[in-house]
Amino acid sequence: MLGQAPEILYRDGHLLAVNKPAGVMVHRSRLERTERGSLVQTLRRHTGVPIYPVHRLDRPTSGVLLFALHPDAARTLAQHFARKQIGKVYAAIVRGWTDPEGRVDIPLAPDAYADRSLQTPKPARTDYRRLATIELPHPVGPYESCRYALMEIRPATGRTHQIRRHMRSVSHPVVGDTTYGDGKHNRFFRSHMECRRMMLSAVEISFPHPADGRQTTVTAPLDEAFRGVLERFGWLDAVPDRWLPA
């Protein structure tokens, strides 16, 4: 259960953006009946105003999450999402070394929880850029060492679990992903890096402001656990300063 309101990154009379912690649900779900709290409930309680979710982040993903504060703003932002006028940037650590940059253009079943054979896949595109790599002298699985890459990822569409499913499809799953990832590497991070979270965070979102259309960008600094891994790997200089806590 979420104990306190997350960090507020941006707020005006139309919008609220917060830095969602990893492991917190955005709203109640029939799939998580044991969960007693949600981010939406907490924000409504702490702000005392209506909160209108306009997109979501997976429970294990951290980062910037945008809410509307009145129905008109919610409708306008929904139109921006439908027209693909929203830009999102994620930081991720994946297994192995990817190409320096690339694109995954593989259609995905729209409901990641339902039988794929009963669904028609929809277009899905994810662009990525490699920021840093490391090879550690620790045997994980059949290899004598383990390799990881730090990624900047930009999804052009918004299918459920899109980044996680796409990175698995190219054999570079997100570290810490217990659904689509590699259990051996997940366990290595928990035991050697003392990091139990999934290494995926929404660090930036850009959009036309619903009130006047001005281009607006909100950045969410990486949390302590994510930053700690970057520091141990010598990767702090590989990311923009705005992605790091002040």
User: Domain coordinates of the chain in residue numbers?
Assistant: 7-235
Closest among 95, 91, 88, 126 to 236, alpha carbons compared? 91
Tell me which residue of 90, 83, 51 sits closest to 67, measured CA to CA: 51
What tokens appear for 115 in the block?
């039988």
* Fold that domain 7-235 belongs to in CATH: Pseudouridine synthase (3.30.2350)
This prediction has a pTM of 0.93
- How far apart are alpha carbons 23 and 62 in whole angstroms? 8
Report how far Cα 18 is from the mean position of its chain's Cα atoms.
Answer: 13
- In the residue annotation, 127 being an active-site residue is answered as no
Distance set, CA 6 to CA 9, 27, 240, 246 (Å): 9, 14, 22, 16
**Predicted confidence pLDDT, tens digits, the chain (246 residues):** 455 678 999 999 999 999 999 999 987 665 544 445 689 988 988 888 899 999 999 999 999 999 999 999 999 999 999 999 999 999 999 999 999 999 999 999 988 888 888 899 999 999 999 999 999 999 998 889 999 999 999 999 999 999 999 999 999 999 999 999 999 999 999 999 999 999 999 999 999 999 999 999 999 999 999 999 999 999 999 999 999 987
